[in-house]
Structure 1
Amino acid sequence: MDNKFKVKLGISIGDTNGIGPEVVVKTLADQRILNFCTPVIYASADLLKQVKQALREEHFQFQVVDSAQALVPRKVNVISCWEDELEVNSGNPTPASGKASLDSLLAACKDLKAGLLDGLVTAPINKDNIQSEDFRFPGHTEFLTSYFDAPESLMLLVSEGLRVATVTGHIPVKEVSSKLTEELLIRKMTILLDSLQKDFGIQKPRIALLGLNPHAGEQGLLGREEVEIIRPAVLHMKDRGHLVFGPYPADGFFGMRQYQQVDAVLSMYHDQGLIPFKTLAFESGVNYTAGLPIVRTSPDHGTAYDIAAKHKASETSFREALFLAYDIVRKRQEAAMPTV
């Protein structure tokens, strides 16, 4: 790594009519961030000037560069991703804002894949208006898994003292049961355990699995998934020496704060894990995609059109996403250094 640049973190701007540009500018107005990383925003100077002026954020300064090969150290760098002046219609998803979010994401991913960046922090997209020939995915996670040729990935929500992953991601609830298999659970547990060791520095991780059904199925009375799929997968991992526990009834598990006794929780579907996580850590939570060859984080909130351009958006989650990306990149870099 070129030390003068610290860690180079690409930032995709997200839907330009949502709160993405606002939280990016608010975060990077704190110039202390430049002491440990070089942020690279993929957007346009015109958009960022508009946001800066609207927020009256004089401390936000940036340098426009032609490419990631011409970055300026100790500066917020901006790489232009569109030539035409972008019409900003805050609070309303439009085809233009969807295209801008995709252009930003694709440009950042291209540079990351080429090794010109060390990690990626993604601002929120609209999963509908970003759809195109180049993006036919239900979200960032699935797109990045495909783009970086990963066999499989895992959505992992992270905050201080709480990590929650999901076995299934952006799929309808009615399809969850049919997607669950013992093999899938084993693969997801393997990714989670590996990430906790490699990315979070936990030598012997402890993970808890939630049941799918109410009361974790009541020994088959309320559903067979726990008996036939989840418990056998847990036993499989236990037999291989891993500290894996469950399945637990999801409501009681969080109600009794049992998550404080483990390093991560593996939920069976999106809302089962994200509702308690966002209840406990909405402003500080970070979405991390485990299992990829690259480092990607994002805030745990969406585009929040209802408060776009109202100067109400909190940058806390985006800032934490930037910090987590930095921490994981450094851990991976240090692990890759030859030992004497």
Structure 2
Amino acid sequence: MKPSAPVLAVTSGEPAGIGPELCLQLALGEPPPGGVVVVGDPTLLAQRAALLRLEVDLVELSPGAPVPPARRGVLPVWPVALREPSRPGELAVANAGYVLETLDVAIAACRDGRAGAMVTAPLHKGVILDAGHAGFRGHTEYLRDACGVDEVVMMLATDSALHAAGSDWQGSTALRVALATTHLPLREVADAISEAGLERILRILQADLTRWFGIARPRIAVCGLNPHAGESGHLGREELEVIEPCLVRLRNEGFELDGPLPADTLFTPRHLTGVDAVLAMYHDQGLPVLKYAGFGQAANITLGLPIVRTSVDHGTALDLAGRGLADAGSLRVAVALAADMADRGSATP
């Protein structure tokens, strides 16, 4: 018998940003089969709903309580208290701990089976660093450390790529882009790329494209690091000395890998035809292309975790908070993807 649809734990993100109102908008659309529960401050959500005149019935649940069946207009909440009142668009360092606590609650719920996946609204890295959480790099690295794994992979996917994986979302350009490095200063990127590191990332990418997306034999296109993929060593030797040896070794094991390819021509129809994912070497090599193709209708996925985590493809948008201008499209895509992944993962032996 197929297990019941999983509940999704959605963290409300930076309280001064658009995250709380995006979560409220989830209750006004068609809920996923298992429903969602928002992790956040019920008073904050009620205040934002009143400000924006959103008719949402907030149902506060005690920790560990079962989530009621999904209903339009109703939003279950696992409460986490703000450290101080929040106003739209105005960051408060005191609330950094609140944001991290919402993540901890969602992670624990996924690990103990109360939630089948977690979906994250955007947080503000700067205010968390300003609060004294030194070394904080973002959701991806925080979840890696919280789950006790050595390596995770950040991948973004447009909504039509999700549709190809079995969801109901559709779009014009199907694209999945994973990253070999994530939130690093550009001058540190080359030193962070190693044969061993690339091999770990490609193994995770291959395994999770199969497990979570149902792709039996993924084909992955790999970017070079340097312009023109190093121009045979004249514009850098990382392709010859690091990337290519890794790809050769994995191809000998049966991996389907193209590259290293120049990033300025890889993202064209000729090279992307039949490709299931692209591995970019650094954040701003691959993500500007994906966001141009599907900004606001794409989702961020963390691969390599023992739990399912997806997120939006944008930031806190402090300038839009509380004005009724925020678009929940990316959060809806992230929720749809999380539901698909959790359902497929629960069916995997």
TM-score (norm 1): 0.92
83, 87, 90: which one aligns with 1:89: 87
Which amino acid in 1 is paired with 2:343?
A: R
The aligned counterpart of 1:226 is: 239
Distance 1:197 1:105, change over 3 A: same
Q: Tell me if structure 2 keeps the 8 A contact 1:23–1:318.
A: yes
Which amino acid in 1 is paired with 2:202?
A: M
Which amino acid in 2 is paired with 1:267?
A: A
**Is the partner of 1:14 in helix, strand or coil?**
coil
Q: CA deviation at 1:88?
A: 2.0
Distance in 2 (alpha carbons) for counterparts of 1:70 and 1:220: 59
Distance in 2 (alpha carbons) for counterparts of 1:98 and 1:237: 42
The aligned counterpart of 1:10 is: 9
The aligned counterpart of 1:248 is: 261
Q: CA deviation at 1:133?
A: 6.8
The aligned counterpart of 2:103 is: 105
The aligned counterpart of 2:43 is: 46
Q: CA deviation at 1:61?
A: 2.4
Q: Larger deviation: 162-171 or 131-140?
A: 131-140
Q: Deviations over 1:245-285 (max 9, x none)?
A: 10111011124562243000000011111111111111111
Distance in 1 (alpha carbons) for counterparts of 2:199 and 2:82: 47
The aligned counterpart of 2:128 is: 130
Q: CA deviation at 1:155?
A: 0.1
Distance in 2 (alpha carbons) for counterparts of 1:135 and 1:2: 44
Distance 1:260 1:137, change over 3 A: farther
Distance in 2 (alpha carbons) for counterparts of 1:52 and 1:128: 26
Considering only aligned residues, what root-mean-square deviation do their CA atoms show, in Å?
A: 1.9
Distance in 2 (alpha carbons) for counterparts of 1:89 and 1:53: 13
The aligned counterpart of 1:27 is: 26
Q: Tell me if structure 1 keeps the 8 A contact 2:82–2:98.
A: no
Distance in 1 (alpha carbons) for counterparts of 2:339 and 2:316: 23
193, 197, 220: which one aligns with 1:184: 197
Structure 2 residue 154 is matched with structure 1 residue 155? yes
Structure 2 residue 34 is matched with structure 1 residue 61? no
The aligned counterpart of 2:70 is: 74
Distance 1:23 1:83, change over 3 A: closer
Q: Deviations over 1:29-85 (max 9, x none)?
A: 11x315x02211111221111122222222x3231111133432335311111176x
The aligned counterpart of 1:118 is: 116
Q: CA deviation at 1:310?
A: 1.6
Q: Deviations over 1:161-199 (max 9, x none)?
A: 110000011111101111111111111111101011000
The aligned counterpart of 1:288 is: 301
Aligned pairs for 1:266-305 within 5 A: 266-305=279-318
Q: Larger deviation: 101-110 or 116-125?
A: 101-110
Distance in 1 (alpha carbons) for counterparts of 2:134 and 2:323: 30
Distance in 2 (alpha carbons) for counterparts of 1:2 and 1:182: 41
Question: Size of the alignment, in residue pairs?
Answer: 331
The aligned counterpart of 1:315 is: 328
Distance 1:260 1:57, change over 3 A: farther
Q: Tell me if structure 2 keeps the 8 A contact 1:16–1:88.
A: yes
Distance 1:326 1:140, change over 3 A: same
Q: Tell me if structure 2 keeps the 8 A contact 1:185–1:233.
A: yes
Q: Tell me if structure 2 keeps the 8 A contact 1:205–1:243.
A: yes
**Is the partner of 1:324 in helix, strand or coil?**
helix
Distance in 2 (alpha carbons) for counterparts of 1:130 and 1:104: 13
Q: CA deviation at 1:2?
A: 10
Distance in 2 (alpha carbons) for counterparts of 1:216 and 1:40: 45
Q: Tell me if structure 2 keeps the 8 A contact 1:214–1:222.
A: yes
Which amino acid in 1 is paired with 2:309?
A: R
**Is the partner of 1:245 in helix, strand or coil?**
strand
Q: Tell me if structure 1 keeps the 8 A contact 2:52–2:323.
A: no
Distance in 2 (alpha carbons) for counterparts of 1:23 and 1:259: 32
Q: Tell me if structure 2 keeps the 8 A contact 1:157–1:288.
A: yes
**Is the partner of 1:11 in helix, strand or coil?**
strand
Q: Tell me if structure 1 keeps the 8 A contact 2:46–2:58.
A: no
**Is the partner of 2:348 in helix, strand or coil?**
helix
**Is the partner of 2:249 in helix, strand or coil?**
helix
Which amino acid in 1 is paired with 2:91?
A: P
**Is the partner of 1:25 in helix, strand or coil?**
helix
Distance in 2 (alpha carbons) for counterparts of 1:100 and 1:145: 19
**Is the partner of 2:123 in helix, strand or coil?**
coil
The aligned counterpart of 1:196 is: 209
TM-score (norm 2): 0.90
Which amino acid in 1 is paired with 2:215?
A: I
The aligned counterpart of 2:166 is: none
Identity of aligned residues (%): 37
**Is the partner of 1:97 in helix, strand or coil?**
helix
